[in-house]
Structure 1
Amino acid sequence: MEYQHGGDIYTNSVTMDYSANINPLGVPAGVRRAVCQAADQCFCYPDSQSASLRGKLAKFHEIPMETIICGNGAADLIFQVVTAVRPKEALLIAPSFLEYEQALRSVSCGITYYELKEEEEFALREQELIAWIEESSHSFQMIFLCNPNNPTGFALKKEQLHPLLDYCREKRIFLVLDECFNEFLEDPHRHSALEFLRKGSHEQVFLLKAFTKIYAMAGIRLGYGICKDSTVLEKIHQIRQPWSVSSIAQAAGEAALEETAYVEAARSLIACEREYLKDNLTALGFRVYDSKANYIFFKDLRTEALQEEKLLYRQLLVKKVLIRSCANYRGLDGTFYRICVKQREENEAFLSVLKSILTERK
């Protein structure tokens, strides 16, 4: 089976991985200590309810503990919520994260795509989306929305999310809102639907979050969902594996929530280095889109790139540099790429390799 995502450092021999959007500061020191301490208790089964972690998440987000469910990464919860709701027809934004489609296919759900336009910079306009749904003949039971979107990095503000949440409530459409990259935004609260869930007025929303990206805990596997619909949460509890979240992951999650200074430092770093990379990629002749997250979405405009599939990806791989080709995203082709944002020294090294490739081709 072909690897579908970034971070494939196992198939490819690389010295520089720019394909996975992980916090460049690495695993926080407090999380490292918690993992080591938790290893001493690995002879015990983990708490199947993740009660202590959920309690701390409830305090962290100022929401009731019973609205939180933890999973083995966000991907685990995507499959669980789809299996619990079992929609017959769902709407996906394209391009967007691949797991949504995979999860929906697993329950034989019909899928309709709302394709974002390149000439509009792949921006989602919520009123146009609502109007399109109204004019269509479809009766959707579920919509997936990634905010900020992966791979484009486009982010809706909460005042743009509000009408969509209201519409889904009115039409009884279950909305899965993926905010796994929200913490990398310069003003995360302005782009989150959490405030609406706190008010308790939107039950048919599943807010998806993860420790994976912002705390650089991809290998630990820890995600969580926030939902006011107790019936859906109960169905998930009935179908999920009882020990899907390890004791090490739970301890790491509790420790991570204390790392507020680390998150602020990462957010500041990303804001600076994102613009640095954007400016340099633009200067090199690439079409760079206005990503707001910790990754950059761009297009290779070279004539030869139109003729040779995934040309830049293959050129960089020869140099042992891995980037994310977006060729397997719906609506994109082998000229589109996504790279993560790292620290300045690493970014300079990456740009140096990139410049050498462009020079070689001239």
Structure 2
Amino acid sequence: MTSQTDKASPDQNPNDSQATSSFPLHGGNPQRAAEAFKVNVDTLIDFSASVNQMGPPKCVMEQLGQSFPQILEYPDPANTALKSALSNYCALPAERIIVGNGSSELIHALPCLLREGKSVALIEPAFSEYRRAFEIADRPIITFTGAAEHQFLIPLNALLHKLDQAPEIAMLVLGNPTCPAGTLWPRQDIETLLSYCETRKILLVIDETFIEFTDGDNSLVGKVPESHSLILIRSMTKFHALPGLRIGYGLMSPEHIANIEKGRVPWSVNGLAQSLGVAALQDKEFPSQSREWNRDQRKRLLSGFAEIENIETFPSQTNFILFRIQSNNPSHPAALYERLIRDGVLLRNCGNFPGLDINYFRCGVRKEADNRQLLHSLREQCARLASP
């Protein structure tokens, strides 16, 4: 357990300062890579962003033309229609749903729920905006780091022991599935952890951004009505493939929603996003079709990775795969990153995730032709790096 007080700049890689000019903070920024390496952005296949490659539901495109008149009007500040659609989608009362301009708006609002004088505990590696949100708010952060041998989770007994040793913790943040590993927490462990947090009056924040890609009943959405401690953060960016619209939502008690609303700017979710978000939730076949398609492509991609020497992959339940290049040469990660870009393949280097180093990369699951290109380039460039 460590206390984090140093603040890193948005593009700083804390594990390898020499890589900062090459490795951005987030995925989905091919323009920066193209500028850095002087290549045509149109030639890049972007594996750095983990967006559903089936694309948005067809009804979104059908609704798009009809929604244009809404740009002439102010959007509904209460997001009434979108909250109603999300209420049906999540089987929750609308008063337990808050909609944001992407999940990032809601993540950066979380510090207002942390009691004064208390600390937040982050289970990392994790989405970096959680750390940034609490650093910007100047709130105390405690870090629990998962290890590779545990798929970057923390065994439940060890986690509960850490929490017992830190009475100052009033909020615990974790991802399920985790990012960037794509690992699911055991359902029983999550439920036990929630019960512990309720007893300790700790707010348990679970990022479920990628939960819809997983098979089975893995979400704690059914616990939201009965728990004051539980906060779920979700997004329509990844699963519904709407990154440009910036639609995120939180599932929590009305009291927490009211406290967040006090500090929000009005009209944060634009009218076009609200209208198309409603449309995206109407396609009842889209979720199962997306899971099946992603499962098949992920399996094929993992099979291809298994044939490449000096690559170690980690089991994923999502639409991305974390892998590590096995090399003792510190120049290899940056060299591989650049060579793949020149081959037209953009990965997400994970060296700026606490607990990882620049030997770790993440790739999104894309369509079969793109995946074949990735495997071909990766096999070829890894072989070149390994040769004397």
Q: Given the two structures, how large is their TM-score scaled by the length of structure 1?
A: 0.94
1:237 equivalent to 2:261? Answer: yes
Q: Which residue does the alignment assign to 2:289?
A: 265
Q: Which residue does the alignment assign to 2:33?
A: 12
Letter in 2 for 1:252: L
Q: Distance in 2 between matches of 1:179 and 1:8?
A: 23
Letter in 1 for 2:364: C
Measured against aligned partners, the alpha-carbon deviations of 1:289-323 in whole angstroms (never above 9, x if no partner) come to: 1111110011001343x444533222212223110
SS at match of 1:273: helix
Q: Distance in 2 between matches of 1:218 and 1:355?
A: 30
Q: In 2, are the aligned partners of 1:81 and 1:232 still within 8 Å (CA)? A: no
Q: 1:121 aligns with which of 144, 147, 151?
A: 151
Q: Which residue does the alignment assign to 1:77?
A: 106
- The equivalences for 1:247-266 within 5 A come to 247-266=271-290
Shift of 1:84: 4.0
Q: Distance in 2 between matches of 1:168 and 1:300?
A: 37
Shift of 1:148: 0.2
Shift of 1:272: 1.2
Q: In 2, are the aligned partners of 1:316 and 1:322 still within 8 Å (CA)? A: yes
Q: Which residue does the alignment assign to 1:61?
A: 90
- The equivalences for 1:325-340 within 5 A come to 325-340=349-364
Shift of 1:60: 1.9
Q: Distance in 1 between matches of 2:375 and 2:307?
A: 11
Q: In 1, are the aligned partners of 2:320 and 2:364 still within 8 Å (CA)? A: yes
1:108 equivalent to 2:133? Answer: no
- The equivalences for 1:126-275 within 5 A come to 126-134=156-164, 136-187=165-216, 190-197=217-224, 200-228=225-253, 230-275=254-299
Q: Distance in 2 between matches of 1:323 and 1:206?
A: 31
Shift of 1:27: 2.3
Shift of 1:86: 5.5
Q: Distance in 2 between matches of 1:243 and 1:192?
A: 29
1:343 equivalent to 2:370? Answer: no
SS at match of 1:270: helix
Letter in 2 for 1:24: Q
Gaps of 5+ in 1: none
Q: Which residue does the alignment assign to 1:313?
A: 337
Letter in 1 for 2:172: I
Measured against aligned partners, the alpha-carbon deviations of 1:193-223 in whole angstroms (never above 9, x if no partner) come to: 11212xx321121111111000110011001
Q: Which residue does the alignment assign to 2:17?
A: none
Q: Distance in 1 between matches of 2:324 and 2:284?
A: 35
Please provide the CA RMSD for this pair: 1.6
Shift of 1:346: 1.4
Shift of 1:79: 0.8
Q: Could you say if the C-alpha distance between residues 10 and 83 of structure 1 is closer, same or farther in structure 2, counting changes exceeding 3 Å?
A: farther
Q: In 1, are the aligned partners of 2:145 and 2:154 still within 8 Å (CA)? A: no
Q: In 2, are the aligned partners of 1:148 and 1:179 still within 8 Å (CA)? A: yes
Q: In 2, are the aligned partners of 1:85 and 1:232 still within 8 Å (CA)? A: no
Q: Distance in 1 between matches of 2:146 and 2:28?
A: 26
Give the % identical residues: 29
Letter in 2 for 1:192: S
Aligned length: 355
TM superposition outliers: structure 1 runs of 4+ over 6 Å: none
Q: Distance in 1 between matches of 2:243 and 2:313?
A: 27
Q: In 2, are the aligned partners of 1:86 and 1:109 still within 8 Å (CA)? A: no
Shift of 1:185: 0.7
Measured against aligned partners, the alpha-carbon deviations of 1:255-307 in whole angstroms (never above 9, x if no partner) come to: 11112322222111111111211121122021111111110011001343x44
Q: Distance in 2 between matches of 1:140 and 1:84?
A: 13
Gaps of 5+ in 2: 1-9, 12-23, 35-40
